[in-house]
Structure 1
Amino acid sequence: MKKVLTIAGSDCSGGAGIQADIKTMSAHGVYAMSVIVSVVAENTFEVVSIEDLPDKIIKDQIDCIYNDMGTDAVKIGMLSNKRIMSCVRDKLLEYKPENVVLDPVMYAKHGACLMQEDAIDLLIEDLIALCTCITPNIPEAERISGMKINGVDDMKKAAVIIRDMGAQYVLVKGGHHVGDAIDILYDGENFHEFVNEKIDTKNTHGTGCTLSSAIASNLALGKSIYDAVKLSKEYITNAIKHDLHIGKGNGPTNHFYKFFEGELKNE
């Protein structure tokens, strides 16, 4: 059985972070493992507090994985500060895992800042170069590339800038734009557009976590980057279509829609 590790923050509401990653990986038939770097007290409409874990426990968790099970892919999510990011960077350099997917989580769905400025600088300087694929949304791609994005052409320009920072592949997600959800995958030579209908729902909590975890799972299963993104886009689109009406704000997607076909909805 293929093994996928998520390194990210814990979301007590279950819609994003480590919890969403584990659900997504399990739905793809891979063995999910986790390294928690922060504990986030949040729900569907607000982030109340964030408690970052000490260096030692972060490093010990990663060592435990690689001293025993190993990985076929790694998904990296929220790394809130420079200290945590340095820990993760050092362990990536030590173990050199294959198929590293980085979701550069900077903002919560309702706007709360989840990454400090000095951490963003370290991400640009060091972490991106250690990744197979980075999956920024529009605001994140703007911050990393240093340019304003107003359409597909700008998404492509930003992807080129970000890939020059060292990642093998860049997937710029266009879900923040009006109209169809257009994502751009750049492999260093060609641009690939993935167009999916934009679903009219507020229940999109954890979509970035879910997509990146799906990509990591598909890479672990031996898919090419193009097929991994294509299959993952189909998965997240259906998870949103079968969204769960849970909570007062941006509710979660249905990670197990294939098994329940929307029956978990609260009517």
Structure 2
Amino acid sequence: MSAGAGPFRFSTHGAGKLGRRVADWTDGMGLDYRGLLRRYLRSAESILDVGCGTGAGLARLPNLGRIAGVDTFLPYLRGLDKSKYRHALRTVATHLPFRDRSFDAVAAISVLEHLSKEDGYRLVGELERVAQRIVVILTPNGFVPQRMRDGNPTQIHLSGWNPAELRALGYRVHGTGGLRGIRGEGGVPRLRPASTWNAIARASQLLVQRIPLLANEVFCVKTIVPPGATGHSTAELTP
């Protein structure tokens, strides 16, 4: 599902020297969602990318373990980078055809918002069922409208999720994507010039990571402790 608007990615096009300096600073600190993905997934030997789309969420990250992708939209699966994705399967996210604890890590990047609230809770349960060590979720902070894209009706946004709801499910929540409200549908800045607001969004990364309620998106992490086990898995790395 992430092949539409997908997770917000900062652009430095037309940003000028200040914008590029801000970009270099935030990239170096790993404050965007890709930095968080690297932090939490780098020790995983096998990863399931749920709602993988064309692989925009994980495929560009180096040195990840074996990745399998699932999505409902066949054209996206056909476009996956086969050198990154060992397996690709067409299926619905709320009924994953895998055994319990099948993957070290399970990721749902820009997927939760495409489901109704009821199906969203089902999805979270499925992510946790098939994960052996860790689950990561990226979703907008609150409801952000999105229409159909790429001829794919599942790209429509049906729900919004806030940090409190995700913490109640046992997730550690980071803010990402800059300050909430700067961007509208498709991640496009609401005000002009866009380059200035891109720089402001980037510069606010450190703030929103610590105060997710202010963020454009929330990056959520949960360590899975199998039944009968005690303590925490080593999959959740120390930030």
Normalising TM by the smaller chain, what interval? 0.3 to 0.5
| Greater relative CO, 1 or 2 (CA 8 Å, sep 6+) | 2
TM-score (norm 2): 0.40
Question: By percentage of residues, which structure has more helix?
Answer: 1
